[in-house]
């Protein structure tokens, strides 16, 4: 695996790649990321990953400073998963001056759910992803692919929408959520959980499964399904931000017979977990 710390080095390494396939990450990698890298390996001639902890997508009180930086083990994992080129710019390289041009997703997609509880989050994500795409794909001639996990369901939708709206010649490929044996969705932030919290954490996915099961049995009272799941987690000591049923197409409230997804975000102690299940 070759490593580029600057945009110039990255472009040099990718100068002969016709079909790069890209997985952006913030490091602290786990098996979920590795699955995305393996998926990318089957899509392009060169598999590229990035590690960049993007300050723009953190609120001031969030964990930017303490976000785990695990460089050595990340490199070993990426190399083992088949990554050919790792792009690891520092802040001065990616943001040599304050980022004044930003990508603002439309409010109806970017300011709901995660965007409601983390204002500006999707501006930060979209802006850095646009910039990473410009770095990674600028030399490519043919098909370009980028893989994003369904674990961050809304992020995947925002990026798909951005690519379509800006006519970027990049195929956005969805990677399935990877889960621990008990069902907890793999996430970099799971590492913040104490042993007791880790044992409890699976309850978020169980709550979402119960919501999905109710929908599958034909229960149409969505408000009751949401309230019941929220109350269940609250009783167990969680602080839920949302447990909600949305249509998959645009994450708005369902109105008829449409493919659905249930999404949840809740705090357990100091750790905020998110998960979702397509129904």
- Just list the catalytic residues: 33
- Asked whether 25 and 57 are in contact (CB, 8 A), the reply is no
Task: Check residue 177 for interaction with ligand PAF (CB under 6 A).
Answer: no
- Asked whether 243 and 233 are in contact (CB, 8 A), the reply is yes
Please identify which residue in 54, 127, 230, 276 interacts with ligand PAF, judged by CB under 6 A.
Answer: 54
Task: Check residue 262 for interaction with ligand PAF (CB under 6 A).
Answer: no
Please identify which residue in 48, 128, 211, 266 interacts with ligand PAF, judged by CB under 6 A.
Answer: 128
Please, which residue, 155 or 244, has the CB nearer to ligand PAF?
155
CB of 210 to ligand PAF, least distance (A): 27
Please identify which residue in 36, 125, 136, 214 interacts with ligand PAF, judged by CB under 6 A.
Answer: 125
- Tell me the per-residue interface mask from 16 to 45 with ligand PAF, x by CB under 6 A, - otherwise: --------xxx-------------------
In this structure, how many other beta carbons lie within 10 angstroms of the beta carbon of residue 146?
26
DSSP state of 118: S
Q: Which stretch binds ligand PAF (CB under 6 A): 81-89, 125-133, 168-176, 199-207?
A: 125-133
Question: Closest Cα partner for 265 from 213, 207, 221, 198?
Answer: 207
Any bridge partners for residue 144, and if so which?
A: 170
Within 7-138, residue ranges assigned H as helices are 7-13, 31-41, 71-81, 91-94, 107-110, 114-117, 121-137
Please identify which residue in 84, 93, 152, 200 interacts with ligand PAF, judged by CB under 6 A.
Answer: 152
For the stretch 236-240, contacts whose Cβ atoms lie closer than 8 Å and that sit 24 or more positions apart, written own/partner, are 236/200, 236/203, 237/200, 237/268, 238/203, 238/204, 238/266, 238/267, 238/268, 239/266, 239/267, 240/264, 240/265, 240/266, 240/267
Q: Which stretch binds ligand PAF (CB under 6 A): 122-130, 175-183, 205-213, 270-278?
A: 122-130
Please, which residue, 185 or 245, has the CB nearer to ligand PAF?
185
3-class SS at 156?
A: helix
Task: Check residue 129 for interaction with ligand PAF (CB under 6 A).
Answer: yes
Please, which residue, 152 or 200, has the CB nearer to ligand PAF?
152
Binding residue count for ligand PAF, defined by CB under 6 A: 10
Task: Check residue 158 for interaction with ligand PAF (CB under 6 A).
Answer: no
CA distances from 49 to 130, 197, 200, 234 (A): 15, 31, 32, 38
In this structure, how many other beta carbons lie within 10 angstroms of the beta carbon of residue 71?
11
Task: Check residue 48 for interaction with ligand PAF (CB under 6 A).
Answer: no
Question: Which chain residues interact with ligand PAF by CB under 6 A?
Answer: 24-26, 54, 57, 125, 128-129, 152, 155
């Amino acid at each position: 695996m070759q490593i580029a710390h600057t945009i110039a080095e990255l472009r040099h390494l990718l100068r002969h790649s016709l079909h790069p396939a890209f997985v952006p990450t913030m490091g602290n990698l786990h098996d979920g990321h590795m699955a995305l890298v393996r998926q990318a390996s089957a899509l392009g001639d060169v598999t590229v990953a990035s590690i960049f902890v993007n300050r723009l997508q953190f609120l001031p009180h969030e964990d930017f400073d303490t976000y785990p930086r695990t460089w050595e083990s990340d490199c070993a994992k990426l190399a083992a998963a088949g990554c050919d080129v790792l792009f690891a710019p520092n802040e001065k390289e990616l943001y040599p001056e304050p980022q004044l041009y930003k990508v603002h997703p439309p409010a109806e997609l970017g300011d709901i759910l995660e965007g409601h509880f983390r204002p500006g989050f999707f501006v930060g994500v979209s802006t850095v992803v646009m910039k990473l795409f410009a770095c990674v794909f600028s030399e490519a001639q043919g098909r370009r692919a980028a893989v994003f996990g369904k674990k961050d369901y809304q992020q995947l939708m925002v990026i798909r929408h951005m690519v379509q709206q800006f006519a970027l010649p990049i195929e956005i490929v969805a990677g399935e959520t990877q889960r621990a044996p008990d069902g907890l969705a793999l996430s970099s932030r799971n590492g913040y959980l104490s042993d007791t919290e880790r044992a409890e954490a699976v309850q978020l996915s169980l709550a979402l499964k119960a919501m999905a099961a109710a929908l599958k049995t034909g229960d149409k009272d969505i408000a009751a399904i949401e309230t019941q799941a929220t109350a269940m987690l609250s009783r167990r000591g969680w602080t839920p931000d949302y447990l909600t049923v949305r249509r998959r197409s645009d994450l708005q409230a369902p109105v008829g017979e449409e493919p659905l997804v249930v999404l949840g975000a809740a705090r357990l102690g100091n750790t905020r977990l998110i998960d979702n299940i397509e129904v």
